[in-house]
Structure 1
Amino acid sequence: MNLSGMPQADLQSINVDVPGNGYYPALSTAYFIEHYAVAQEYASKSALLVEKLKRAQTEVNQELVSAVLTNGTPLNAQQIIFYNDAVYSKAKANLLVSKLGSTHRENATAQSQSAIDNFEHWQRESINAMRLLQALSPNLSVELL
């Protein structure tokens, strides 16, 4: 079940992996649907979910391009958690904005306000996860004088 109490689709049948670039991990539409309460109307649209994940992945990767997260080794488990949270949260925010365009006019005002609040929440979650990820950099250190 998702957060609305509606049964979810079979996640295995609609799972699509979005490959990472070797340094960053791959992403999964099934994980996105299950852990980020993707609305049922989008859960069966694999192409849309893949597009949102790829866009979010690219944006996060661009923001992290100057951050040295490791010294040439793969990300550790904690870094992967923060990276995934940054990407999935950004994708969730972008998915909520997409939902604004598909609502009916009579419900648009109320739904747009709640969706904007949710968009801002998920954007903050993404930014927070990126900050936490960058804080784990081995190049950040404090020197005592």
Structure 2
Amino acid sequence: MNLSGMPKADLQIDDQVVPGDGYYPDLSTAYFIEHYAVAGEYANKSELLVEKLKLAQAEVNQELMQIVLTNAEALHQQQALFYKNAVYSKAKANLLVSKLGSTHRDNATAQSQAAIDNYEYWQSECVNALRLLQALSPNLSVELL
């Protein structure tokens, strides 16, 4: 079972790859579903997952635009791990906000508070992963005064 209570055997996982640009790694919807406990109602909607991953990827890439992480070569393994965590966390946060609109009105208040808390958690995970990724930059230096 995943965190949504759906047995994993019931999910039809159609793995879609969101390509990186050679510098950033590719992303996988199957990995996202499995490792970030994507709710069953979204897990079977591969187009939606690809869209959320592309949006999260664009936002993370925008934040990293001014930072030189490597010297014109692909990210190394640890950097790729932090990058993927940032993108998947941001996509997970965006999925949780999407879920707010699909709840019933009678229990919407409790669910919206829980989803907001989860949204804030996944947003902070994204920020933490970005900070860890930036800390690995070869151009990061400390100047002594």
Bin of the TM-score, shorter chain as denominator length = over 0.9
| Cα separation, 2, equivalents of 1:143 and 1:116 | 40
| Cα separation, 1, equivalents of 2:85 and 2:129 | 6
Aligned: 1:36 with 2:52: no
Partner of 2:20: 20
> For 2:141, what is the secondary structure of its paired residue?
coil
Following superposition, the deviation at residue 86 of structure 1 comes to: 0.2
Following superposition, the deviation at residue 5 of structure 1 comes to: 3.8
Following superposition, the deviation at residue 107 of structure 1 comes to: 1.3
> For 1:133, what is the secondary structure of its paired residue?
helix
**Paired residues of 2:4 and 2:40 also in contact (CA < 8 A):** no
Aligned: 1:63 with 2:66: no
TM-score between the two structures when normalised by the length of structure 1: 0.94
Aligned: 1:135 with 2:115: no
Q: Which amino acid aligns with 2:100?
A: L
Q: Higher mean Cα deviation, 134-143 or 33-42? A: 134-143
| Cα separation, 2, equivalents of 1:45 and 1:10 | 9
TM-score between the two structures when normalised by the length of structure 2: 0.94
Counterparts of 1:36-115 in structure 2, within 5 Å, are 36-115=36-115
| Cα separation, 2, equivalents of 1:20 and 1:97 | 25
| Cα separation, 1, equivalents of 2:33 and 2:109 | 26
**Aligned residues, how many?**
143
Q: Which amino acid aligns with 1:81?
A: L
Following superposition, the deviation at residue 136 of structure 1 comes to: 0.2
> For 1:3, what is the secondary structure of its paired residue?
coil
State the Cα deviation string for residues 48-106 of structure 1 (Å, max 9, x = none): 10010000000000000000000111100000000000000000000000000000101
